[in-house]
Structure 1
Amino acid sequence: MKECQADVLVIGAGPSGAIASALLVRQGWKVAVIERQEFPRFSIGESLLPQCMAFIEQAGMLDAVNAAGFQFKNGAAFEWDGARTAFDFTDKFSPGHGTTFQVQRGNFDKLLADEAARQGAAIYYRHTIVSAEIEPGRARLIAECDGEQVAFTGKFVLDASGFGRVLPRLLDLNQPSDFPVRQSVFTHIQDNIGEAGFDREKILITVHPEQRDIWYWLIPFAGGRASLGVVGKQEQIEALGNTPEEILRAAVDASPNLAKTLAGAQFDTPVQRITGYASDVKSLTGPGFALLGNAGEFLDPVFSSGVTIAMKSAQLASECLHRQLRGETVDWQSEFAAPLKAGVDVFKVYVTAWYEGTFQDVIFHPNPQPEIKRMICSILAGYAWDKDNPYVNAAERRLRTLAEICARD
């Protein structure tokens, strides 16, 4: 059996794995990344948030991302039954990056992985992990590639396997999410949008005219293509048609304004669906391992928070692990899991309120107070860890009060 040894073993070469690997190799640690697929590969989660850019910059990848030709993004637009509003991420409460990109994840993820490799991370593609033995200070992962087994040994494991959720599966860490089972149906299209005034520099989130807990995303890419999807409860989505393409076309037709925007669109890519994507775990960390991004908890795609949470988890974990490998004592629960969960819980408040309709009342209010809108804008831009923002620091209470005021007006 082949043997590979490193200080840190990272499962998965997606955004959280690539960022964590780069941050660690920049600190002088030897990192081996075990990735099941070959890159580039298809993935959704294509509308980045500006908060991501700070983590990309810290990992030494900002110049490469800026030079890659991705679609520039400066905000988010919302539409519901003729009501339209937009948030400009450069006009936000929190300091930091105010713009980002909308990316086809195959190319974006490969760029980040290539940058991590350029800086010194060793990436092993087409390696599927079949067993894991992890204890404090020692880890051994067995992977298979082309019919052969490879043993990876290290001092710590970061699971960045996303929806593959390798360690939660192997170590029995999975637990049901408290979010309702929802279904997403999506594809890439040649959008052929000729609508005057359509802003390709913003994601467009459209609410179903009658069923407010059904919503659509339209994410323009560079080159005239776009990502299109619809999300709702499983029974709502499946009632729209028999096949994924029938469902998506019927969903678009049910929203007259979106149908007008996409009147010339060409559906040229197979339509896919994901059901019950919300996930949770018993613990984000344990002796010898930590879970990053979607390998730990995934909420919902509505505010594009997935990649931001993944990169934040990579930053926090790499900082803790660097100190631990130097011999310092690290409390992973209080220094990694709790800070990460604080921001995730903020996103959860707004996602829950979105489906209840109360946050939609806030977003579509015709006369928003400018300073409050900047605070909400910061959260939509990914700054869910900024405790200076009152709508982060006391998210549930303040959003509930704000929604009550907006509903009365």
Structure 2
Amino acid sequence: MTSIIPSKTTVLVVGGGPAGSYAASVLARRQIDVVVLEAAKFPRYHIGESLLASTNYFLEYIGAREKVLSYGFVRKPGGAFKLRKDFPPAYTNFIDHNTGNHALNVNRAEYDEVLFRHAGEQGAKIFDQHRVVGLEFSEKDRTRPVAANWESSAHGTKGTIHFDYLIDGAGRQGLLSTKYHKDRQITTSLKNSAIWAYWKGAKRYGEGTDRYGSPFIEALPDNTGWCWYIPINDDTISVGFVIHEEFIKEKRAGKTLEEYYLSQFDILTEVPKLRGDATMAPNKEGKGSPVYMASDYSYAAEDVGRLNYRLVGDSAAFIDPFFSSGVHLAFVGALSAAVSLIAVIDGEADEESSAVFHDAELKVAYTRFFMVVMAGYKQMRGGLNNDVLNDVDEKTFDRAFNLIRPVIQGTADIGLDKQSTGDAKLNEKEVRETMDFIFRLFSHPPPGQKQVPHEDDGLHGNVDDLDRDARARLKSFSLYVPHLHGHDGVMNILQSAQEKMKFTVNGSTAIQLKPIIQV
């Protein structure tokens, strides 16, 4: 890794998290000059510890799959979801059709650093402790960024780097969408906050079964949110609550942060049994309370890429930790951003069609997950008499989880692994069935559900807040709705990568890929 930030690069990546590091690896493996500027010092703490199996196949594309799988992270064979107190947990089995299709639960400080360093090994120039504090724009077109001003917290230095193309992976704080475009749309019904801590000596869900290592999700019986229970590779269990902000003031009244956190265990049935006599671990950053709390708002930027820039990861959109879509969507957007820019650099596409490709890729993947997450919340918030993910004569959510499997396991975006014996056309049919099922949930409220008038939705009149927000998102992304049912370009890119010519970067084999641009 070079120690001097150059004054010019072909592609500047702002942010060294999973999205930024992944995009940088893809670009560097094509021998494109790329610089990554990350504000924090690695390793740095981060929440979001449970991953989808699809991430393994994204990592295979950049030559990092074996490196990550052999690191020692916790093997995740699936996920269990207890969404009603009177129903057994629903389980989504990642390895049912392919034993190699397991996911991981990770210490994100370690996982993210592996990806960051890997980008450097592929040829990217990577710098942590260097924050981008502002952008400069072309005098001819004030919407086209051409340079970034940076400051180093490690050396007390500052400077400017010029670029041809920009990938904004700055995370939740954002850069383009928050400082310049100001176009983030908040999902009001998912204005949640998360409160969490780590426990030593707790049991793992599924001990003695093939579910061992799976996260366990339990809805709060008071219908205000849910609890996660995730084993990670530092011998702790991450246990947190996601609760809508309108309920937090009342729940926290008269309590310290730690008292508020512990009080939520009192209304659960299964998680306290797993936690047992475990003790809370110290703060992982070595400071303050062992209990963390952060806003967890759901949002999406309208402009995720035009001209010479692309937004990826949490800079572009964040849904919710439910169903663990964060890193998966970061990789989808990062790959889309990288290959769409490669297409321009190689002269295979113009700027406009390349940007349209990225816009569609990211928004299709995001909207599919968004709708499934909203369906989960619609079930949890309705209480014991709310039949959303089940028919009235069903006493489990097994049928629903089988239907939504292509989305919550990530296969809707990557297709089937080549090792699988499945039929890609069948998977395409499954994706269509998933979205047909989800769309029907928001076509009209179920019988007996509370109605909240909302005259601004312009759709079907009276809907509850989840219905309203789901329909509004579909309305804003109406251009992409037909594509929500089937496969998209990301799957095609990943599948075709294995068939392309290979070349060597720093002594390691890399895949040379001619991007597929579909518009």
Same fold (TM over 0.5): yes
1:89-146 C-alpha deviation (Å, 9 max, x unpaired): 1236xx9962110001000000111111111111111111111024488621010113
Give 1:8 shift.
0.5
Q: Which residue of 2 aligns with 1:143?
A: 150
The offset of 1:286, in angstroms, is: 2.5
Query: Hey, what's the Cα distance between the residues in 2 that align with 1:392 and 1:291?
Result: 27
Seen in structure 2, the aligned counterparts of structure 1 residues 253 and 369 have a Cα distance that, compared at 3 Å, is closer
Q: Does the 8 Å CA contact 1:6/1:30 hold for their aligned counterparts?
A: yes
Structure 2 Cα separation of the partners of residues 360 and 41 of structure 1: 42
Does residue 77 (structure 1) correspond to residue 90 (structure 2)? The answer is no
Aligned residue in 2 for 1:91 = 96
The answer for the alignment partner of 1:235 in structure 2 is 246
Render the CA deviation track for 1:58-85: whole Å, top value 9, x for unaligned. 1111111011000001101112426223
Residue matched to 2:220: 208
Which one of 57, 62, 65 corresponds to residue 65 of structure 2? 62
Q: Hey, what does 2:198 align to over in structure 1?
A: 188
Query: Shift of residue 56 of structure 1?
Result: 1.0
> Is the alpha carbon distance of 1:289 and 1:392 closer, same or farther for their aligned partners in structure 2, counting shifts above 3 Å?
farther
1:402 offset after TM fit, Å?
13
Change (3 A) 1:223 1:124: closer
Q: How far apart are 1:222 and its partner, in Å?
A: 2.9
1:393 CA displacement: 4.7
Q: Does 1:167 align with 2:176?
A: yes
SS of the equivalent of 2:276 reads coil
Look up the match of 1:283. Answer: 303
Aligned-partner Cα distance in 2 for 1:259–1:368: 23
SS of residue paired to 2:297: coil
Please tell me whether the aligned partners of residues 130 and 150 of structure 2 are also in contact (alpha carbons under 8 angstroms). yes
Secondary structure of residue in 2 paired with 1:278: strand
- Kindly indicate whether the alpha-carbon contact (under 8 Å) linking 1:72 and 1:101 is maintained by their aligned counterparts in 2: yes
Residues 148, 161 of structure 2: 8 Å contact kept: yes
| Aligned pairs (5 A) from 1:387-398 | 387-388=428-429, 389-394=431-436, 396-398=438-440
Shift of 1:206: 0.5
- Separation (CA, whole Å) in 1 of partners of 2:99 and 2:445: 27
Instruction: Tell me whether 1:176 sits opposite 2:185 in the alignment.
Output: yes
- Structure 2 SS opposite 1:279: strand
Aligned to 2:406: 378
- Tell me the secondary structure at the aligned position of residue 405 of structure 2: helix
The 3-state SS of whatever aligns with 2:342 is helix
Q: Is the 8 A contact 1:17 1:314 kept in 2?
A: yes
User: Which of 355, 374, 392 is the matching residue for 2:377?
Assistant: 355
Match of 1:224 in 2: 235
- For residue 114 of structure 1, the aligned residue among 100, 112, 117 is 117
5 Å matches for 1:339-354? 339-354=361-376
Tell me the distance in 1 between the aligned counterparts of 2:434 and 2:362: 13
1:154-189 CA-partner distances (Å, limit 9, x unpaired): 110001111120222331333331333211111222
Q: Work out which of the residue numbers 23, 41, 46 in structure 1 matches 2:26.
A: 23
The corresponding residue for 2:276 is: 263
> Residue 277 of structure 1: SS of its match in structure 2?
strand
| Residue identity opposite 1:263 in structure 2 | G
**C-alpha deviation, 1:29, in angstroms:** 0.3
Q: 1:338 is matched with which residue: 337, 344, 360?
A: 360
CA distance 1:185–1:160, change in 2 (3 Å): same
Tell me how far 1:277 sits from its aligned partner.
2.4
8 Å Cα contact 2:6/2:161 also seen in 1:
yes
Aligned partner letter, 2:432: P
CA drift of 1:221 comes to 1.4
- Equivalent-residue separation in structure 1 for 2:111 and 2:296 (angstroms): 25
Which string of whole-angstrom CA distances, capped at 9 and with x for unpartnered residues, describes residues 233-273 of structure 1? 11323433333322221111221321121122211232111
Displacement over 6 Å in runs of 4+: 401-405
* CA–CA distance in structure 2, aligned partners of residues 397 and 296 of structure 1: 24
Q: CA deviation at 1:366?
A: 3.6
Asked if the contact 1:53–1:97 (Cα under 8 Å) also holds between the matched residues in 2, the reply is no
Letter of the aligned partner of 1:143 in structure 2?
W
Identical-pair percentage: 25
Q: Secondary structure at the match of 2:270?
A: helix
3-state secondary structure, aligned to 2:334? helix
Structure showing greater relative contact order (alpha-carbon pairs closer than 8 Å, 6 or more residues apart): 1
- Superposition CA RMSD, Å: 2.9
- Paired residue type of 1:239: E
What amino acid does structure 2 have at the position aligned with 1:346? R
Matched-pair contact (CA < 8 Å) for 2:31–2:123: no
* Letter matched to residue 182 of structure 1: N
Gaps of 5+ in 1: none
Which of the residues 48, 52, 59 maps onto 1:49? 52
Question: Secondary structure at 2:71's aligned position in 1?
Answer: coil
Q: Distance in 1 between matches of 2:202 and 2:298?
A: 32
CA distance 1:110–1:402, shift in 2 (3 Å): farther
- Indicate conservation of the 8 Å contact 2:15/2:39, yes or no: yes
Flag structure 2 segments of 5+ consecutive residues without an equivalent.
284-289, 381-385, 416-427, 450-519
Query: Aligned with 1:249: secondary structure?
Result: helix
CA distance in 2, matches of 1:356, 1:152: 47
Secondary structure of 1:7's partner? strand
CA shift in 2, pair 1:19/1:207, >3 Å: same
Q: Which residue number in structure 2 is paired with residue 5 of structure 1?
A: 8
Partner of residue 246, structure 1: 259
Q: AA paired with 1:267?
A: M
CA separation of 1:322/1:352 partners in 2, compared to 1, >3 Å: closer, same or farther? same
